[in-house]
Structures are given as C-alpha cells and as structure tokens.
Amino acid sequence: MKLNIDGLLVYFPYDYIYPEQYSYMLELKRTLDAKGHGVLEMPSGTGKTISLLSLIVAYQKAYPLEVTKLVYCSRTVPEIEKVVEELRKLMDYYTKQTEAKNDFLALALSSRKNLCIHPEVSALRFGKEVDGKCHSLTASYIRAQHHSNPSQPVCQFYEEFDAVGRQVPIPPGIYNLDDLKDFGRRKGWCPYFLARYAILHANIVVYSYHYLLDPKIADLVSKELAKKSVVVFDEAHNIDNVCIDSMSVNITRRTLDRCQTNVETLQNTISRIKETDAAKLREEYSRLVEGLKEANVARETDMYLSNPVLPDEILQEAVPGSIRTAEHFVGFMKRFLEYLKARLRIHHVVQESAPQFLKDIYEKVCIDRKPLRFCAERLRSLLRTLEIADIADFSAITLISHFATLVSTYSKGFTIIIEPFEDRTPTIANPVLHFSCMDPSIAIKPVFGRFQSVIITSGTLSPLDIYPRILDFRPVTVASFTMTLARTCLCPLIVGRGNDQVAMTSKFETREDFAVIRNYGNLLLEMSAIVPDGIVAFFTSYIYMENIVASWYEQGILENIQRNKLIFIETQDAAETSMALEKYQEACENGRGAILLSVARGKVSEGIDFVHHYGRAVIMFGVPYVYTQSRILKARLEYLRDQFQIRENDFLTFDAMRHAAQCVGRAIRGKTDYGLMIFADKRYARADKRGKLPRWIQEHLTDGSLNLTIDETVQLGKHFLRQMAQPFRQEDQLGLSLLTLEQLQSEDMLQKIAQIAQQA
Amino acid sequence: KYKAAQTVFNIDKKCQKISPDGKAKIQLQLLLHTGESTTFHFANGSTALKDRDATKELLQQLLPKFKKKANKELEEKNRMLQEDPVLFQLYKDLVVSQVISAEEFWANRLSLNTVEHSLSNNNKQEVGISAAFLADIRPQTDGCNGLRYNLTSDIIESIFRTYPTVKQKYAENIPHNMTEKEFWTRFFQSHYFHRDRISTGQQDIFSECAKQDEKGLKSMVTQGVKNPMVDLLSLEDKSLDEGYGTATVPTTSNSSNKSLRENSNSAIIKRFNHHSAMVLAAGLRKAEAPSDQASETSSTDGNSRDSDFFQPPLKKVKLQESIEYDDLQGDSGRQTIALNLKKSDRYSHGPIPLQSQHYTTSQDIINSISIIQHEMRNYKPRLTQVMSSNAASSAITALSPGGLLMQGGGQQTINQLVPTDVQSELKHLYTAAGELLRHFWSCFPVNTPFLEEKLTGHLEEMLQAAYSKFQVWQTRRMMRKT
C-alpha cells in the first residue's frame, strides 16, 4: 500500500499494516527531519525492519540530497541476510508499483569467510585463517613480486577485480551475500573487495556492528562513508557491550611470549633488509618525518570517520624521533615488552588508572607518553615497509601496540587490572593484564559525531533513558511502542513459590538450596506436561545450569521430564550446541516435543528465534545478573556512578532485565505467534525489576500473575494455551491490530495510533 | 511334562502361576485367556523343582513372542474384516451362521493374503521409543544391599534401537561369552550406563560403545547443521580478535584444572544431548528405512552441505520463511509444493488401469471450486447469442430419457427392477456360495486324509447348509411376493 507519513509518500510492500508500524514510521520521519538521533523500542515481530526500510528508502527517494545513504547495522549474519531479503521485497514492490527501473544499489557486506569464492581459501573453516590466506595472496608487494616472478601465487579473482572491477560500477540491484558471490563468480571478480569498494557509492549498506564500532575495522572499511548517511543499529540492546569490547585489551603471558617472537622476527627482517635494500628504510623514515599529515588533511576536510585509536592531536605532529628509525622502534617495543613482563610477575591483584600506569612506566624504564601514543601507527607503517606476508602472525605485537596507544591516549574511561590468577583457581598462576574500557561512548562517539542521524532500535531497550546516558548522546526522539493485539498472545507469569510455599529465587544465598532446585525442577516438569511442542528454559549462568542439571539428574527429575519431552542442553562448544539446537527443532517439528536448556547471555539467547511451535513457553530460571564479583565489572560500576550518576544497583538490574527480556522475547515473533513467558524468581515481582521490563511485556503483567505457585502457573498456563490454540484468522485482527489503508485513514484510528508511541 | 508344556504354547495364555517354594506339591498353573486354567504337576521327585523352574523360564521367554504373534494374527484378521465389507459379510454368512468353522475360513484366507499381509506389515507404524526408557529401569533396592533392575522386552528393544552399538555387543557376546543375565548385569554396572561416573578404566565391554558414541557425536558435530539459521558458528560476522574484549579469556589449560565434579556434570549434559539425539534418530530411522525412495530424494534435495551449489535453496527458503508476515499479506498467496519427480517417465507411463481412475486431492477440489466460483462471479450471460427456443426444446427432448441421445438408458437393467435389499441379499448368497465352491475345489486333488475327510463329510454338510439357506431365502421371497 501507499502511505502518507507526515507528507511523505511511503511505499509499503504489504496490503495491511500494523498500527504500531505506522506510528514507528511517524517517529522515524520526525527524527530524520530533525537530522538528529533517535532511540526507538518496538516489540519483536511487529515488522520493525520493514518499517525502517520503507520509510528511509522513501525518504532517500524524496530527498536524495538530504539523505544519501542508509547504513544498516545488525548483529548476526542471518539477521543481515534477513534485512537484505526484506529490502528485496520492498524494492520488488517499488518496481511493480512505479514500473520504473530500479536505480538503487543495496548490498550486504560480511567478512571474507562469508564472501570468498577462491576455491582454496574459501575452504578454510575459520575466519582468521581465511583472512590470513587472503592477505598472503592479495597484499600489494606480493602482487608486485608476482609481476617479476609469475610463479608467486596470487588470487586471480582479486587481480581481475583490480584490473577492471573499479571502472565498471556494479549494476543497481539488491545484493545479498550469495548474490554477491554469484555476481563475483560470473565476472570472475572477488566479491569481498567488490563489496568493500561498492559500499562507497551504494544507497544502502547492510553489515555488522563491528564495521562501524570497532576502530580497527572501521578504519579500513567505513571511514569514507558519506556524512549524510542514516545509521541504524538494529537489535541494539547490547550496543554498549559491543563498544566496550572493541576498545578493551587483555594481555596474558602467552601474548607476551608470542610478542617476543614477533619482535625477534622483526629484528631479523630489518637487519636483512638493511643489507639488501637500505633505501626502503630511509624512505620510510622520511615519510614519518612528514608525519601523519595525509590523515589529518582528510579528516579536516571531513572525508573520514575519525578513529578513536588515532586521536586528533597525533595527526598534527610528526612521529617522535625516538621511534622513527626501524631499529629504534623495535628496541622501544622490546623495552615496553620487558616492562609488561615484569608487571605480570606479581602475586596480588593490582588496579590502577592509565595515568598511574604511565607514571610507573616512565619511572621504571623511562618510556615517555608521546612515543607510546604513536605505537600503533608506527607498527603499521613498519609492517608495511617490511612487507610482512602474514599479518595474522603479528597479532600479538599489534595488540600490544594498540594497548600502548590507547593507554597513553585516554586518561579517563579506562582501567588497568592485573590479576595473578583466576578467582576460581588461586593455585594456578595465570597472570592477565586487563585494560578495559568502561565508557562505551568512546567507541561510538565518532559515529554520533559524523553521521547526521543515528537510530538505535530494538525490541528491548527499556528503560529508554539509560541508553542516551551511557552512550553520551542527545536524541531528538525517544519512544517506546506497544504491540496492539487482537488477542493477548503473550502471557507473562511470575512464579515466586513452589507448591510447598518455599520461595523460588536464584539469589546467591539460596541458589544451592535443595528446595529451590527441586521446585525449579518441578516447575519444568509440570510445564513439560502441559505445553505442546517446544519449551526453552534459560538459566542465569552456565555453571549454575550445570549444577542444576546434575542435581536434577540425581533426583530423577530429568528422567520424569523425559517421559514428556526430549531434553537438549546448550554446551560451551558452539558446534555441539548448534547440533543440539537443530535436533531440538527437529523434535518440535515431528511432534515429539522437546525442551532446550540454555543460558541467558549465551549465543542461543542472543541469536536464535524460537518462532511458533519452536517455543511455546520460555522459562527464565532466576534473574540473570552478571557475575558481580568480577573486578572489571566493579570498576565499570564505579565509573558509571561517578561519571553518569547511575547507581550500581540500577545498572545491574537494568542489565539483568534486558537480558531476561531478550530471553523471553525469543518466543514471540509475531502477532500470530503465542507463548508463555515464565519468570521463575520471586524478585521479578518487585516494582524495580518489573518496571524495567519493556512496556509491551509489562502491560500484560497483571497483579494476579505476580507471585504464583507452580500449581497456579500450571492452571493459568493451561487456560492460556487452550485459548491460543483456537483458530486465529486475519479477520479477527482486522481493525484492531491489523489495518487496511481505509481503516488507517479514519480519524479515530489516527488518534488511537497516536497513543501507541510513548515518549520517554 | 515337557511335551505338555510344548503343546500349551498354542493356547493363548494370560499368565502363569507357580506354587510357593516351600509347598510339597510342585505345580505350575497356566491361566488362559478364555478363563480356563491348566495345572501341571511336576512329579519326578528330586528334579521336580528344577524342571519346574526350567519350564517356567522357557515359558517366560516364549510367552511374549507368542503373545505378540497371537495378537498380531488377531489384529490382522480384525483388520481384514474391517477393511473389506464383502469379506465381513461372508464371514457373517459362513462362520457366524456356522456353515464352516472360523479356522477353515481363515486357513484359506490368510495363506491367500500372505502377499498383502507382508505388505501391510511393512506399512505398519513402528511403536516409538519413549525418551525415558532408561528411567523405567531405575534400580530399586531390594532391602538387602542389592539392586534390582526391571528389564522388560520393550525396554531391551528400545535400548537396542537407540544404541545400536549395544545391540552389536549383545550379538557378539551372547550366548557364547556370557549369559544374558550377565550381559545386562555388566551393562548396568558399566560406566556406559552411569555416564556421570568417571570411567574407572577397568575391563568394560561397553567402553568401546562409549567410544563409538563419542565418535558418532563428533562426526555429527563436525558435519555441522543443515539449517544456516541455527548454526551458531557462523552467527557472528566478525568476532573480536584474540586478546580484545572484556570477556574473560578462556583458560589455556581447560581440561586439567577442571574439577572432577565439573567433568561429571558436563558428561551428564553431553549424555542427555546424545541420548535425545539417538532417540530422535531411532524414530526417524525406522520411518525412512522401508522407503529408500524417500531417503534417495532427501539426500539430493539440497540438504547436503558438501557442495556450495546445493546450499542456497534451503537457505533461501529459511530466509524467506523468517521474513514472512502472513497476516500482513493480502490473500497469503496459495502455497504450492513443487512436484519433485525423480523418474518422470515412470509417472507418465503408469499402469493403464489406474489411469482410468481420476484422483483428486482435497486441495484440488478446493482449488477448482474456487476457480469455478471465481468464474461464476465473472459470468455475464451473453443474451444476444442464445439459441432459438425451437432448437433448445429439441435439444432438451433429445437429452431426456428415451430421447435421441439417451438411447442407452432405454433398456432398463435388472438393478432398476429389483429392490436394493433383495439385490444385496442375493449378492451375499452368491458370494457365500462362491466361497463354499472355492473351498470345494481347493480340496482337489485329494491327497491327504484330511482333505478327503473334509470333502466327504464336512463339505457336503456345508453345501447342504448352504442349499437349505438358499431354500429358506427363496421360500421367504416367494411368500413375500405372493
């Protein structure tokens, strides 16, 4: 249908529309008009993606000069591919309606592992191997060697692309990963480099978070993206963790050992080159005297996305003399390495700030702050000069150099923790230096600064006000949308007690309690008898799940559950879990029914949807608090309190509740879907927990379902499931949660829609 | 006594009772389904007790087998009667009215239907395996430091089907290496059964099974999953490089510093995953085995991972499925399933007689109805192009009975003259007589005394009975007519 969103003609590729989609588009339009940032929460399964795409594409077509590009970031590869498929649907609709030839170029970008078509390289299993192998075939000096010595192997796909691929633009269309590969095969071009090149002029780019948030990758891939882009972060409820992870570094003894060998290799290479090709080193030297001016020019002219690892100040200066020659730099790195080794030889935990660390390093080994800051850039230049084939081998020294640059650049927002051993195994020495980022805004700042509109959206972003605070930006729209429902297809229940009235909770003091474990077991057992097909149960942590499973096994609870359903359990091995997951779906499919025991914050809870019969009930055993004894977390909490005035408990609860909401939200993926959401912990009944659930779950939590026993839960669940099993037709939804164009245009419907969005 | 015992096998037994050990009389009582009971008295003094026990054992083993057989036959007969109304009528006419005995009736039938019999047996659904079959053998303490395991033939069957390696071991070791009892005792003691116990490394015939299972699990894992949407390995697009991130670094020495308890816990988890997978596979295996056609197609339908070219279809389908909002779509476009013909010539040159019959699925009917409805809706009478009334009325007369085009209907057949109940009665009599004649002819050549006896005494009686029956019917009909 064709919609009128606040004066903008939007093509929407369906005959019907959900009211909340309309409302969502309205808010989105406002955000784009204001050229500001937005935080939008809309339940999963209400067609968020297609709403986003429809509106932004319409906006791009209407105002091609205002918004030149859409950068859509999602989290997982399947998600990325889904987005592109939805986009394809939209574009098909456009061509059908307007009968004009599509002139849009949209493509997905992923790592080499998912795009490589080289027969040998693509056969490798791990991403890192593929990257390394690819580099060894496509690096510039390898190709130069190939010219003089044709026996040197190169990648013919890259050669072909390099020869002609850049001149001929890729024809407009929608390219998913497989389409890119097909196209690459047809033309004989490398799809990966083709995609990387094509994103610069594509209208829509879909890729993963890391390409924007991880400074190491963003610098390579995304820095030339146009300023007038709209950036969307979908499934953004964990965006702060992605930011933090990309800026944090861990150094173990093994890292240092490998770094040691790296340094030795460098030294040998340098002395060899010095004998054969001294001019090359001299050339590099003079280039470094010039400084990093090019980068500076580019940034000043607003061409590049700035790199948080490469702060502005160093761009204006030349590389300090002490590390300008290759030998001096290697010597410098050696000294730094020795210092780190000494720091790891400790017997007690040390925590210090970056300035303290710098002071110490100056006192001990006379390393100044300034050369440290240039470490990362200097190493990169050196590796380039020395024509190192396999960059992957030098990951250790690259890591150390990044650490050096970061620690000397940021005096705030980071902490250094050196732990001599793991908490659980105090007898085994395993020293680790954690350099951990505590401020997610550092990594995302360039994104907010550069692009005119950044939309943060997800099914679970409650409480909404916390994201602008921890990411340090000022949104123009902050809204949460509810799910309009013709029938209440979600049924959140809080189970607080067993039938013996013993409180159920995963609170640390009582979690090992026999009665609690037994009651949890009984709950699962009872549910397995009444819920059809699939049940997914989440535990707060892997270790907790292991313990509970073991005691359920001893008590024979699992065997009784097996009478009703098959049991599959997530393990720490991803391949094993994938298999269990597939078998689980198979068992749901063939009617046998199954239970999947899984872990909140695990891969399953974040990336896998349990639509329809794959998940008729989700049970959340306990409140998934993060492991609070970790020093890194403590440091972060402290930082949040001091910098953002967020109380520790507020943050912990927020973090736990967003994960709980993610887990239970896995089961509802649409209005025709239905599922029980069982929160098995009495603490969920408290207002401070409950209030942090997304609005679309909260509004179905009645006072009657707050502190149930297992029996009551079973009764309510039975009732709910029986109701939901009745046929549900489109007509039942029409006019309430599903609208035709005429219904949408009626006055009172528009009024109703206005209430869907709740501004925070 | 043994002979006596042998003969009773042919009788349906309900249960058996033995006299308590202390009693003077050593007896074995068999309770039959019919309610009768037979008591065997073991009299040869010293060995009586042993004999009795041996008999009991034998009976116990034979009982389930026989029971199954008996039940199966009964079921089969029942099924045949239910599926074939003509046969049922015949059965009523001949057996219920005691013209011939049930055995005779079936003796002829069953052998006749052996082909069909075996066929239907194949199609019969296997009984599934309960996921909790191992739980059913939960040991119970018998009060004096012993454990008692309950093992039934069903459970053994389940174990064999879920764990083929155990079956293999069973075949290898029984009966020459150990007795059955010993085998199961060892099984229950083994590390294999108690997966949470850490292997003690002692001689355990099942350790090999465990190893094989491990191997199977590994190969399953390395094979990977077919559905790209659940493949956790390729979920993440770009993982952080080693050394970055806040997550705790995985310990380099993972297995050595794990406590014993943790190891046993993860063993339990592995076991449950494996067990569930095996149970699921056992169910599917049976379903796929008889029709290799199905497995043939399933292996080529794009599920195989080995080639990159085969992967996209499944992936595409899954992707499309996951982005579909069926309620947003108008008339959610009729889903059709593409016909996947393996050998298309086989379908185009089918057996001739079958072609005459026109099969329609319910979906076809629904579709065609909707098409007709659609056409009716769009139907506009073209009034300018109608026939003249003269032509129309002549066409009607031509088409009505007796008309020019309906000559065939002129000769009225017998089924319009005779009322239906008489017809059906006649039909029954005819088939009954035919059946008797079949019995009669099947006696030739007369080469056994049994056949001779049947021919001379028995059949004559039967035919007599049939004659009289026909007579009765005829007179009744005559009377009714007059």
Q: Which long-range contacts (CB under 8 A, 24 or more apart) does B427-430 make?
A: B428/B89, B428/B90, B428/B93, B429/B93, B429/B469, B429/B470, B429/B473
Q: Is the peptide bond before A171 cis (omega within 30 degrees of 0)?
A: no
Q: What is the DSSP string of B166-215?
A: HHHHHHHHTTTTS-HHHHHHHHHHSTTT-TTSPP--S--TTHHHHHHHHH
Contacts of A566 in chain B (CB under 8 A): 131, 276, 279-280
| Window B:261-280, CB contacts with A under 8 Å | 261-262, 264-266, 268-270, 272-273, 276-277, 279-280
| CB-CB under 8 Å, B228 with A250 | no
The answer to whether A71 touches A225, Cβ cutoff 8 Å, is: yes
Nearest to A371 by CA among A321, A420, A302: A321
What is the pLDDT at residue B26?
66
The complex's ipTM works out to 0.85
* Distance between A744 CA and the closest CA of chain B, angstroms: 14
What is the pLDDT at residue A89?
92
Burial of B283 (0-12, 13-18, 19+ CB in 10 A): buried
Q: Confirm or reject contact between A628 and chain B (CB < 8 A).
A: no
SS3 B37: strand
Cβ density class A679-717: b for 16+ within 10 Å, e for less: bbbbbbbeeebbebbbbbbeebbeeebbebbbebbbebb
CATH topology of domain A1-104+203-236+452-487+733-759: Rossmann fold (3.40.50)
| CB-CB under 8 Å, B225 with A581 | yes
- Secondary structure element (H or E) that encloses residue A116, with its range: none
What is the pLDDT at residue B355?
44
The stretches in chain A having pLDDT less than 70 are 290-316, 389-392, 760
Kindly report the length of chain B. 482
The answer to whether B217 touches B271, Cβ cutoff 8 Å, is: no
CATH topology of domain A490-727: Rossmann fold (3.40.50)
CB atoms within 10 A of CB A68: 17
The answer to whether A74 touches A213, Cβ cutoff 8 Å, is: no
What is the pLDDT at residue B286?
57
* Distance between B246 CA and the closest CA of chain A, angstroms: 5
| Window A:365-424, CB contacts with B under 8 Å | 395-396, 399, 422
* Distance between A569 CA and the closest CA of chain B, angstroms: 6
* Distance between B266 CA and the closest CA of chain A, angstroms: 7
Residue where the block lists tokens 């699921």:
B280
| CB-CB under 8 Å, A436 with B246 | yes
The stretches in chain B having pLDDT less than 50 are 1-14, 112, 114-121, 249-256, 289-310, 332, 353-357, 409-410
Q: Which of A249, A568, A581 is closest, CB to CB, to B244?
A: A249
Contacts of A432 in chain B (CB under 8 A): 249
Q: Which of A14, A254, A547 is closest, CB to CB, to B329?
A: A14
Contacts of B330 in chain A (CB under 8 A): 14-16
The answer to whether B225 touches B233, Cβ cutoff 8 Å, is: no
| CB-CB under 8 Å, A245 with B240 | yes
Q: Which two tokens stand for residue B283?
A: 């169910």
What is the pLDDT at residue B157?
82
Contacts of A19 in chain B (CB under 8 A): none
Delimiting residues of CATH 3.40.50.300 domain(s) in chain A: 1-104+203-236+452-487+733-759, 490-727
Q: Confirm or reject contact between B434 and chain A (CB < 8 A).
A: no
What is the pLDDT at residue B125?
60
| CB-CB under 8 Å, A571 with B270 | yes
| CB-CB under 8 Å, A575 with B242 | no
Q: Confirm or reject contact between A258 and chain B (CB < 8 A).
A: no
